[in-house]
Amino acid sequence: MANLASLNPAPVYPFKTKALGEIKFRPFTSAEQKALLIAKEDEDEDAIFNTSKAMLESATFNKVDINKLYTFDMEGLLIKIRSKSVGDELKYALTCSGKDCGHVTPVTISLSDVSLSQAPQSNTLQLGDTLFVVMDYPRVESLAGLKPDDNEGLMARCIKTICKDDEVYPTSESTEEEVREFVKTFSDSQYDIVFDYLQACPTLSYSGVHKCSKCGKEHKSELKGFNSFFR
């Protein structure tokens, strides 16, 4: 029996990731894009995350371990595939916050204007006179099964090494629960140091100024994270 799908091959493009180097991808199919939009409409974070992962695995020919990508790699890859699949323009509605206005203005931005924020200067954090932790950026696998507000869990998964005095403790040699117990010993200031590092990790974002087409009031538009760029 003929493989009819092979009669319509998709173009293949390169994409450079920080975690895994250069990978290859194809555009999303219409069925894949529909699946992602349905997941977004349901506003189910787990469904969006799992659907996105499955789509990326398929679009990279099942040759890339998506779990090992940094989250910003995943965001960048999703946006790059979106631009190759449906175009570089993103349209959304801007609702004016001006007094007695509330007019809705259509806004169009270019995905080429989306940029990656700067990374923290160092991934080695000093928590005490002789206590340091070496961090990793959050990877896709770091988010699996975590609730959005489980900051302790994310910290535990992103700490690569604990250094105390002259001793080095790779967290790969401990269980996740043991690393969580370490995180629970943090003082408020130690917690803030690690939390601030994770908040400052690179992410894709857009910032621009757009005017209301009715009253002329200027609005600063900010979009952050891949969910903002799939509409």
**CB-based contacts of 219, cutoff 8 Å, min separation 6:** 94, 96, 97, 209, 210, 211, 212
How far, in Å, are 40, 79, 174, 177, 227 from residue 64 at the CA level?
24, 17, 27, 28, 22
Alpha-carbon distance of 165 to 130, in angstroms, equals: 5
Whether the per-residue pLDDT at 25 is higher than 90: the answer is: yes
Residue 221 confidence class, pLDDT cut points 50, 70, 90: confident
Rounded CA gap, 190 and 197, in Å? 11
- Convert the pLDDT of each residue in 111-124 to its tens digit: 888 888 888 889 99
Looking at every residue in the chain, the average pLDDT score rounds to: 91
Contact 28, 55 (CB under 8 A): yes
Cβ(13)–Cβ(29) below 8 Å: no
What residues form DSSP beta bridges with 104?
A: 95
DSSP assignments along 3-29, one per residue: -GGGGSPPP-EEEEETTTEEEEE-PPP
pLDDT of 11 above 70: yes
Give the pair of three-digit tokens for residue 185: 């010993």
The domains of the chain are located at 8-87, 90-115+204-229, 124-199
Q: What is the pLDDT of residues 168-177, one digit of tens each?
A: 999 999 999 9
Helices H / strands E in the chain, number of each:
7, 11
Report the pLDDT value the prediction gives residue 3, as an integer from 0 to 100: 78
pLDDT of residue 87 exceeding 80: yes
pLDDT digits (tens, 9 = 90+) for 29-76: 988 888 888 877 777 777 888 888 999 999 999 999 999 999 999 999
Q: Which residue has the higher pLDDT, 150 or 148?
A: 150
Give the separation between CA 20 and CA 69, rounded to whole angstroms: 7
Query: What's the pLDDT at 148?
Result: 84
Q: Tell whether the model's pLDDT for residue 230 goes beyond 80.
A: no
pTM here?
A: 0.86
